[in-house]
Structure 1
Amino acid sequence: METENLPVVLLHGIRVSGTMWGPLAERLRERHRVVAPDLPGHGRRRGERFTMDGAVDAVAEAVDGLGGRALVAGLSLGGFVGIAAAARHPGRVAGLVAMGCTTRPEGFGRAVYRTAGRLAGRWPAYADAAGALAFRRALPGPAAGAVLAGGLSSAAFPQAVEAVCAFDPVAALAAYPGPVWLANGTRDPFRSHERAFLRACRDGRLVLWPGRGHLGALHDPALPARLVLDAAALARDARARDADVRA
């Protein structure tokens, strides 16, 4: 039977880096091994081209570095990447926590999303400066400091937007057999299709954080900490029960 706590892989949002998870990782490391890799085009991988395939490869590499099986948790872009990684590598992803990503860009929203990406990619220095100001205003000091510690990468914004627009997260969730936690702040505009995402999951549950917006998991790291700790324990125990049944 598995008794060791599951390792955890944390996936960051668009144009930021793995440092954004610093306050959460600090809480989790009391019980778990934790890594927060930089996705292509972001952080220490700034200058690389972002693709969904490349991002999924980065997740697989991070999981392998932790022993080959882990809980994967991501916010926004990181949530979409986590969904893609779970569908492609179900043997590596013991459980999935996808935060702030239960929407499918379509119609007017898709056009706005793409326009924002193109503008950020055309003037990345200005977009980085504006983004840094927005994060400092939206988040408490330690959280903003963690987000900005790895630098911003607006040059990767249009590539990431196109990758998300071309991705079918509902189909990917339907392909993944493991446990899934979909988490949203009730004021997050990126929760518009959460019920369709939930129905697609074979073993899914929806967690709502009252009064929180898209950055709620960063604003109050206690929220994702409780969720990830519970999810890791449940995913570990489910894996152990499955192993006992096969034995």
Structure 2
Amino acid sequence: MTRALILLHGTRMSRRQWRPYEQLLPGLPLVVRDLPGHGDRAGEEFTRDAALTTVEEAVDEARRLGDGKPVLAGHSLGGYLGAMWAAQHPHDLGALVLIGATADPAGPLTGLYRGFARLLPYVDPERMAAAMNLIFRRLGAKGEHAELLPDGTAYAALPAAWQLVIDECGPDLLREVPCPVWMVNGQLDQMRIHVRRFAAAAPDPHVVTVPRATHLMPATHPEQVAAVLREAVAKAG
């Protein structure tokens, strides 16, 4: 038996984001959950406690399915939540993988994201989703990755989710996390802007930059993401 791998999705996405990875990661026990307000939990309020409880439940399941401490990987919002949970349980993971989740919320992007969140109540979520999904496809999402792109139902949870990240998810979360921390970003991803701060905070950092990839990397560069995930599991502590 091998370690189990937990995969947490990003804002607006759902556990369906990771379905193609079942074929990309054969032999690895995978644990995927919808975060509050996303996927099958659309309409549920996104709160700090509900989000971290979801991570806790995923870790418990991973312990049952795999051998040794599980590996926790998250994209964007999922990565920040993974870092929050790891900071509270610093000795419970074999590795932590942050995908597109190394922008310091205290940095210059905060104002931009706050402004976008304030506009959301005045924008039709389905039109917004259609526009975002078109960008995904033009940047390289195809096949099953393109078919699984979400509709607009999760936009209601976005302001609360981003507020949690802004309030609590700085690089200091990693200071007491002793396991290997993989920081995986696309070369063109705005969310890698402070990767050096996160790497400096982590006791055992591993930085990976995927050429020509963006924040949408799990959908547009799945083979490269899967390769990092396999390596993180193989080298987990």
Please, what TM-score do these two structures have when normalized by structure 2? 0.90
What is the match of residue 105 of structure 2? 105
Is 2:83–2:169's contact at 8 Å kept on the other side of the alignment? no
What is the match of residue 164 of structure 1? 165
- Residue 137 (structure 1) aligned with residue 138 (structure 2): yes
Distance (whole Å) between structure 1 residues aligned to residue 121 and residue 174 of structure 2? 30
Q: How many residue pairs align between the two structures?
A: 231
Distance (whole Å) between structure 2 residues aligned to residue 130 and residue 50 of structure 1? 24
What secondary structure, in the 3-state scheme, does the structure 2 residue paired with 1:207 have? strand
Per-residue Cα deviation, 1:49-96 (whole angstroms, up to 9, x for no partner): 212332221111011112264101111111111111111123432210
Distance (whole Å) between structure 2 residues aligned to residue 156 and residue 137 of structure 1? 26
Q: By how many angstroms is 1:122 displaced?
A: 4.2
Is 1:121–1:154's contact at 8 Å kept on the other side of the alignment? no
Q: By how many angstroms is 1:208 displaced?
A: 0.9
Greater share of residues in helix: 1
What secondary structure, in the 3-state scheme, does the structure 2 residue paired with 1:153 have? helix
Distance (whole Å) between structure 1 residues aligned to residue 107 and residue 214 of structure 2? 22
What secondary structure, in the 3-state scheme, does the structure 2 residue paired with 1:54 have? helix
Is 1:83–1:169's contact at 8 Å kept on the other side of the alignment? no
What secondary structure, in the 3-state scheme, does the structure 1 residue paired with 2:28 have? coil
Counterpart code for 1:56: L
What secondary structure, in the 3-state scheme, does the structure 2 residue paired with 1:208 have? strand
Identity of aligned residues (%): 38
Per-residue Cα deviation, 1:194-238 (whole angstroms, up to 9, x for no partner): 001000001111111111111123212111111111111111xx3
Is 1:21–1:146's contact at 8 Å kept on the other side of the alignment? no
What is the match of residue 115 of structure 1? 115
What is the match of residue 207 of structure 1? 208
Please, what TM-score do these two structures have when normalized by structure 1? 0.86
Is 2:38–2:154's contact at 8 Å kept on the other side of the alignment? yes
Gaps of 5+ in 2: none
Distance (whole Å) between structure 1 residues aligned to residue 60 and residue 171 of structure 2? 26
What is the match of residue 58 of structure 2? 62
- Residue 43 (structure 1) aligned with residue 39 (structure 2): yes
Distance (whole Å) between structure 1 residues aligned to residue 80 and residue 22 of structure 2? 20
Is 2:106–2:170's contact at 8 Å kept on the other side of the alignment? no
What is the match of residue 96 of structure 1? 96
Is 2:91–2:178's contact at 8 Å kept on the other side of the alignment? no
